[in-house]
Amino acid sequence: MDIDYGTLYAFAISSTILAISPGPDNIYVLTQSIVHGKKYGLAVVAGLMTGCFFHTTLVAFGVSAIIKQSDTLFFAIKLFGALYVLYLAYKVLKSDHRLQLSETSTQKKSLGQLYKQGLLMNVLNPKVSIFFLAFFPGFLFSQTLTNVVQFYILGLLFVITGVMVFGSIAIAAGTISNYLKRNMKAGYFLKWLQIVVFVGISIVILFSDR
């Protein structure tokens, strides 16, 4: 089977770094874990990752059809993807590096409620589909597998790395949050790490072949 494992490794590493970088999802996992406990944070993680499969399906069937139709359309998707990821890098650049965590900012909820909330946060966020649309085409890794299969494999890898990172955050929430609140340099490091990753991804997307 014709598989470029180097591309898969690069995708897994990029996905892991993106999951580590500060954002609304991992901050939400962190706060829920701090306030309610580890298993509640893991419930949020389960909901968020379930939502990723929904967006993977949308992107897999929609984008794979477009890719088959026209080299011009594929280049347009790549260009859109590269520009969108650069826009994300710009937003991170303009954002505050400090992570604001409040133990009084959330209310007690059941495991089911937190799972549903994580799921809805992901499913109802069109930016996730847009990001997958921008991110996945640059990491197609096989000339023999269909694009749909490749998108689902990439989606599965994205979910696995997300579960590993977000799950670790939920389990180690107290330690991580206390460190980040005490250490200003951690915020700076994570901010610039995210910018570098976004810029690198935009380059990969723009210069990738179908």
Please give the mean pLDDT across all residues of the chain. 82
* 102-143 tens-digit pLDDT: 544 445 678 998 899 889 888 877 778 888 888 898 899 999
pLDDT of residue 210: 58
Q: Distance of alpha carbon 81 from its chain centroid, rounded?
A: 14
Give the HSE-up count for residue 99: Cα atoms under 13 Å, Cβ half-sphere. 28
Dist CA 16 CA 2 (whole Å): 25
User: Could you tell me what percent of the chain has a pLDDT over 90?
Assistant: 30
* 55-74 tens-digit pLDDT: 999 888 887 677 667 778 77
Name the pTM for this structure: 0.76
Q: How many residues does the chain have?
A: 210
Torsion of CA 26, 37, 122, 119, to 10 degrees: 160
Mean per-residue pLDDT, 147-161: 95
pLDDT of residue 105: 46
